[in-house]
Amino acid sequence: MSRRLATMRTSTEQQVAAHPSLSPWWRSAVVYQVYLRSFADSNGDGIGDLAGLRSRLPYLSWLGVDALWINPHYPSGGADGGYDIADYRAVDPDYGDVADLEALVADARRLGLKVVLDVVPNHTSDQHPWFQAALADPEAPEASRYHFAPASEEPPNNWRSLFGGPAWSRTPDGRWYLHLFAPEQPDLNWRDPAVAADFEKTLRFWLDRGVSGFRVDVAYGLFKDAELRDNPGTYSPTLFGHGPEQAMTWNQPEVHDVWRRWREITDEYPDTMIVGEVCLADPQEVALYSRPDEMHQSFCFRLLKSGWDTEAFADGVRSALDAFGSVGAPVSWVLGNHDKDRQVTRFGGGALGTARARAAALLMLSLPGSAYLYAGDELGLPQAVVPDEAKTDPIFFRSGGARAGRDGCRIPMPWNDTAGVGFSPDGAADPWLPIPADWSGYAVSAQTRDGGSMLTLYRRALALRAAHPALGSGEARVETAGDVLTVHCAGDDETVRCVVNMGTETVLVRTTGTVLLASSTSVRQSAGSIALPPNTAAWISED
């Protein structure tokens, strides 16, 4: 029987599994996360903006990604990098206006790129008109859209802010209000139907403007224990991976109904999707947010949290494949984002960290599912040291300086080797975060010309991933032998092995296959084997 006939006789579902081209784009998309404030400044005020991003779309298309997710672009109180939103259906004047966003979406579409926006439903800015109305009048209808408690000596319970300190602050008239993040980010009360109704309006506002979906901030939040009971355990000040010790603040069962409703809304708009930030310790719990009638995807943060360790990586990959597989959702792999130290630095810094980040990129891009790349990781940017006086992150301030904060992974992008690295036009104001003196060494312009650069590696990897469905859309099987991690990615016509040497000795991989791509020129192929030095990876096509 011909292949074509065989395909016609299978069910639609099987066809989709066997033929990635028929499957929705987001299941295997490479999504590039744009930190808007730091991407490209068009008007010289030292702040990245939508027109700047628009001018750099050809770069993203050349790089070979499928979509971009833009960190919050909304008018904001500026207390948490835009995650404190004052108006959900507008654009912050720092970034442009709604027409700029529409123009961006249109240009992106012409280049074959989708645009995904960030939406923040757990909390608003304290500058939001609702919170202002609630402050002015405790009886205002807006007051029930937040969590207020009557004036008293002690806060209503033991809940802590993820950024440090208590999760309750006082209003000028002595009431308490809840903020699981900064005090400028009051938590919304999702038990008030006006909240859900307004977010539905917001989703439609942007979907009607042609965006392809949303990344949902703190999607495991929204609802809190209705009786505000104390959390049972010790608070751990990490951003990712909450467990039973915070049972009253996160992961309440009611939240799943919100995602069911949001799924219905996006289902009205073809080819759109929602990806949730779900920072729960148990991957099975995370996957539940991506059941067929909920969000399309939820981030898998296990690799982002793993050190350079074979078992940690293998377990991260296996547990995610199992968990998401059990609900029929693709895994959304993440190695870097705007909340975590840069990969190169996490993996040991310098040449060592860079070698490992190169190998990790090949690992992530081989795995079935979608892959989220954080702007600047394709350049191998390290975590920058930001002087305390230039820091903006509330984590730094609320921890009394004990935690460095996240500014160091949010430095403006280096585009060329001029003094200002091409982030702003000549003669512009200082960039909103200081750019390290050696940043031009990482510039896009130089790396484009260098066949051995991180950027060239990413570009080749993305081109191969698009050309070989075994990569990104195959069936994956994970294997470890000592410090060698192997992922067998089986496609219809080809199996590609991604082999990563996480140990300290060179290993010989027996194969008659062909090396599609290696993370380093030190990877050598000879008759019947490939020599893989420490901290390198290779993609080997077995047929």
378 makes contact, choosing from ligand GLC, Ca ion, none, with CB < 5 to 8 Å by partner type, with none
Closest distance of CB 105 from ligand GLC, Å? 22
Q: Considering beta carbons, is residue 37 or 338 the nearer one to ligand GLC?
A: 338
Q: How far is the CB of 178 from Ca ion (least distance, A)?
A: 34
How many of the chain's residues bind ligand GLC (CB under 6 A)?
10
Q: Please tell me whether residue 407 binds ligand GLC under the rule CB under 6 A.
A: no
Task: Give min distance, CB of 411 to Ca ion, in A.
Answer: 16
**Distance between CA atoms of residues 141 and 151, nearest Å:** 19
Q: Which of 187, 217, 294, 407 binds ligand GLC (CB under 6 A)?
A: 217
Which window, 77-85, 150-158, 303-311, 348-356, contacts ligand GLC (CB under 6 A)? 77-85
Q: Which stretch binds ligand GLC (CB under 6 A): 27-35, 80-88, 378-386, 446-454?
A: 80-88
**Range 372-387 burial, b when 16+ CB lie within 10 A, else e:** bbbbbbbbbbbbbebe
**Measured torsion, CA atoms of residues 291, 329, 335, 404, in degrees rounded to the nearest 10:** 0
| Contact with ligand GLC (CB under 6 A) among 65, 117, 167, 218 | 218
Using the rule CB under 6 A, which residue among 59, 69, 177, 181 binds ligand GLC? 181
- How far is residue 43's CA from residue 51's CA, in Å, rounded to a whole number? 8
Place of tokens 């759109």: 272
Stretch that binds ligand GLC, among 79-87, 265-273, 317-325, 354-362 (CB under 6 A): 79-87
Strands 507-510 vs 514-518: parallel, antiparallel or unpaired: unpaired
User: Cβ closer to ligand GLC: 66 or 339?
Assistant: 339
Q: Which does 120 bind (CB under 5 to 8 A by kind): Ca ion, ligand GLC, none?
A: ligand GLC
Torsion angle of C-alpha atoms 124, 125, 128, 133, degrees rounded to 10: 90
Binding to ligand GLC (CB under 6 A) within 273-302 occurs at 277
Q: Which amino acid is at 361?
A: A
Give least dist CB 51 to Ca ion, A: 8
Q: Amino acid identity, residue 278?
A: V
Distance in Å, CB of 106 to ligand GLC, minimum: 27
| Amino acid identity for residue 420 in this structure | G
Choices 75-83, 317-325, 431-439, 480-488; region in contact with ligand GLC by CB under 6 A: 75-83
* Spatial contact of 73 and 60, defined as CB atoms under 8 Å apart: no
Kindly tell me which residue out of 35, 59, 83, 374 binds ligand GLC, with binding defined by CB under 6 A: 83
Residue with Cβ nearer ligand GLC (92 or 217)? 217
Q: Which does 83 bind (CB under 5 to 8 A by kind): ligand GLC, Ca ion, none?
A: ligand GLC
Minimum Å gap between C-beta 80 and ligand GLC is 5
Which of the listed partners (ligand GLC, Ca ion, none) does 43 bind, with a CB threshold of 5 to 8 Å by partner kind? Ca ion
Q: Which helix (H) or strand (E) holds 541?
A: strand 536-541
- Which listed option, ligand GLC, Ca ion, none, makes contact with residue 49 (CB within 5 to 8 Å by class)? Ca ion
Binds 377, which of ligand GLC, Ca ion, none (CB < 5 to 8 A, cut-off by type)? none
DSSP annotation string for 219-286 = TT-S---TT-PPPSS-----SS-B-GGGTTTS--TTHHHHHHHHHHHHHTSTT-EEEE---BS-HHHH
CA distance 14 to 18: 6
Look up residue 233 and give its two tokens.
Answer: 């355990």
Q: What are phi and psi of 490, to 5 degrees?
A: -100, 120
Which 8-state DSSP code applies to residue 104?
Answer: H
Nearest CA to 444 among 466, 409, 412?
Answer: 412
Shortest gap between Cβ of 88 and ligand GLC (angstroms)?
Answer: 13
Stretch that binds ligand GLC, among 47-55, 76-84, 258-266, 380-388 (CB under 6 A): 76-84
- Write out the E strands in 380-513: 475-481, 484-490, 495-501, 507-510
80 binds ligand GLC (CB under 6 A): yes
Residue 339 near which of Ca ion, ligand GLC, none (CB within 5-8 Å, type-dependent): ligand GLC
Place of tokens 């639609």: 12
Decide if residue 339 touches ligand GLC (CB under 6 A).
yes
Q: What is the CA radius of gyration of the chain?
A: 23
Shortest-Cβ-distance residue relative to ligand GLC: 83
**Nearest approach, Cβ of residue 394 and ligand GLC (Å):** 8
Residues 478-507 that bind ligand GLC (CB under 6 A): none
Q: Are strands 213-216 and 114-119 parallel, antiparallel or unpaired?
A: parallel
CA dist 461 and 303 (Å) reads 19
Helix (H, G, I), strand (E, B) or coil at 216: strand
Query: What residues are paired with 177 via a beta bridge?
Result: 148, 169
Which residues are annotated as catalytic? 217, 268
Which positions lie near Ca ion, rule CB under 5 A?
41, 43, 45, 47, 49
Whether the CB-CB separation of 34 and 53 falls below 8 Å is answered with: yes
| Cα torsion 63, 352, 359, 316: sign | negative
Closest approach of Ca ion to the CB of residue 342, in Å: 23
Cα 100 from chain centroid (whole Å)? 23
CB of 337: closest distance to ligand GLC in angstroms? 7
Q: Whats the size of the chain, residue-wise?
A: 543
Q: Of Ca ion, ligand GLC, none, which one sits near residue 47, judging by CB under 5 to 8 A according to partner kind?
A: Ca ion
Complex with ligand GLC: residue 167 or 454, whichever CB lies closer = 167
522 interacts with, out of Ca ion, ligand GLC, none, CB within 5 to 8 A per kind: none
Distance between start and end Cα atoms, the chain: 22
Residues that bind ligand GLC (CB under 6 A): 80-81, 83, 120, 181, 217-218, 277, 338-339
